[in-house]
Structure 1
Amino acid sequence: MATPYLDPGPAAREAGPDQQTAVDKALTLLKSLAEHDREIGVSELARRTGLTKSTTFRLLGILQRNDVIERVGSDYRLGPRLSDIGAKVYGPTSLVLRERLLPHLADLYELTHETVHLAVLHDTDIMYVNKIHGHRPARCPSQIGARLPAYCTAVGKALLAFDHDAAEAAIAAGLPARTDHTLSDPGRFRAELRRIRQDGIAFDRQEATPGLVCVAVPIMGPAGRPVAALSVAGSQRRFDPMRFAPALRRVAYEASRAVQRG
């Protein structure tokens, strides 16, 4: 199936392709790379963004020299510098949590050997502040520094369940279905958050990405409110989220103690 043309955004649409600045075009390329979890070639990027191949190749070279993207053979993907920038967007708190909780994320990985995440809540989105890829990687949209709507992710629901204002803001903004499994009905979504508050564990049952399932628990801070969430993710075809719930609870408990000690 052909990938649809990538909408570059309202400002670029108003300007038209001939009036877009080099910055507009470079950002369009970055958005296209960010929407896919695999490397993409020049021809495909040019087709997706509506840019010429020569312009695409020239801008990719500039972005590569600045470590914003990296080349893998003849294809391209987002680079480490962009992840570092993304992780700093929301201030030092996320960076402190990332460093302090890295040993616990590593513990979770050693216990599961699956893809594990650390995420924080920002408004009604979650931001991934750390990630370790598992031995059997699954198709997963998460990247360090990237944001996703909280309502359709396990880490997001684990955090929204304990933040009434953020949960209501997410519901008020709408719960558009990203997949056939997304909880887009406000009543069902509120019931899910009530269950999470009771059980202390959240699930993503292919709600953000088809074929991907995830289990998450919050990390509680000194005030009894969650400061972040840990998750384990895998392919729906082989991954049983309940299998990893005990390990996730143990690691989150130790992580919460570390945060509360300061």
Structure 2
Amino acid sequence: MSHNRSYPWNPGWGEPTDPGRPGPDPRAGVPLDMVEMTSVEKAVSVLDSFRGELASLGVTEVAEANGLPKSTTYRLLSHLVASGMLERDGLKYRPSWQIFELAQSSILGRMDGPPALALPLMTELYVETRGVIHFGVRRGNEVMIAQKIYGLDSVAIPTRIGARLPITTTALGKALLAEQIRKEGRRAVPATPFPRLTRNSKVAPQLLVDQLARTSAMGYTVDLEETILGVSCVGAPVMRGQRPVGALSVSVRSHSFDEAKLSKRVVRYARLLSDMLVSAEEEEDDDAPPNP
């Protein structure tokens, strides 16, 4: 029920939709204090208010976002501060370092998981391209940024770890979608309206399918100023066996975009990461105790 925007650099895009998230709540629009909710549910909803581009919020902002009285909101915020989940910032509240630690544990997970293994390869890819390097995982009809590497000479892209972007406009998302289409056919194309983030965004399903068919057979996908004007991107899927577990991408200024050169590098590093995941899985199997 909080007002989180997953596409943080332009609030004018409005609220994203994600059929992969829980469906419509029959209680939607009803103030939380008017429905039967546990204190834990209310606290989680209050905590969820801090997602998005507004990191610090006041009591009134949180109360309005959740349909709660200020007194109830203040009590819940106080409990979250006492538990270490939030901290005071003058008259406002913000997520604590404890939240950051939990997020890092969730994103990185095991040290042999995709985001952790991707980091050194992303560094190598940055050194070769000087672009913005992302590793993302699919969440419904969006892709979530799990790792990001960039430098002072990279194009400015206001993404952040944890942000969600449309699967139909980004090279990361299209790399994952192309794998699903390859296995399931046209029915894998999202049925919901495609977001138009720029004038180049593919909002017609057939245009997107045609674009994916052109490049995905060579192991990569492109974002040609479909998410941010002036920025173009190449992405490739990261596989664990036959299953896509994420995608790797490099974004550069459109005037210096060399699809042939960048695609070779992204595909190479995505395949290296895929091989590393298989090796890590095999090592884990070797270390497992024998069945009695």
Alignment TM-score > 0.5, same fold: yes
Query: Are the counterparts in 1 of residues 136 and 147 from structure 2 also a CA contact under 8 Å?
Result: yes
Instruction: Tell me if 1:153 matches 2:167.
Output: no
Between the two proteins, what is the percent identity of the paired residues?
26
Q: Distance in 2 between matches of 1:217 and 1:231?
A: 4
How many Å separate the matches in 2 of 1:69 and 1:214?
Answer: 37
Structure 2 counterpart of 1:139, from 144, 150, 158? 158
Whether the 8 Å contact between 1:118 and 1:131 is mirrored in structure 2 is yes
Greater alpha carbon shift after TM alignment, 186-195 vs 248-257: 248-257
Match of 1:163 among 159, 180, 184: 180
Match of 1:240 in 2: 254
Separation (CA, whole Å) in 1 of partners of 2:164 and 2:146: 10
Match of 2:40 in 1: 23
Question: CA, structure 1 residues 172+137, in 2 after alignment: closer, same or farther (shift >3 Å)?
Answer: closer
Q: 1:156 to 1:66 in 2, by over 3 A?
A: farther
Question: 1:69, 1:173 → 2: CA distance?
Answer: 38
1:47 Cα deviation (Å)? 3.0
| Secondary structure of the structure 2 residue equivalent to 1:13 | coil
Q: How far did 1:187 drift?
A: 1.0
- Counterpart of 1:257 in structure 2 is 272
1:215 and 1:241 in contact (8 A); partners too: no
How high is the TM-score relative to the length of structure 2?
0.63
More displaced, 155-164 or 172-181? 172-181
Change in Cα spacing, 1:255 to 1:38, as seen in structure 2 (3 Å) is same
Return the offset for 1:113.
Answer: 5.8
CA change 1:226–1:61 in 2 (3 A) is same
TM-score of the superposed pair, with normalisation by structure 1: 0.69
**Structure label with greater radius of gyration:** 2
Which among 173, 195, 205 is matched to residue 225 of structure 2?
205
Task: Say which SS state the counterpart of residue 145 (structure 2) adopts.
Answer: strand
Of the structure 1 ranges 120-129 and 155-164, higher mean CA displacement relative to structure 2 is found in: 120-129
Q: Secondary structure at the match of 1:218?
A: strand
Structure 2: give runs of 5+ residues left out of the alignment.
Answer: 1-10, 16-23, 280-292
Aligned length: 246
- Consecutive unaligned residues in structure 1, runs of 5 or more: none
**Residue equivalent to 1:41:** 57
- In the alignment, is residue 87 of structure 1 matched against residue 102 of structure 2? no
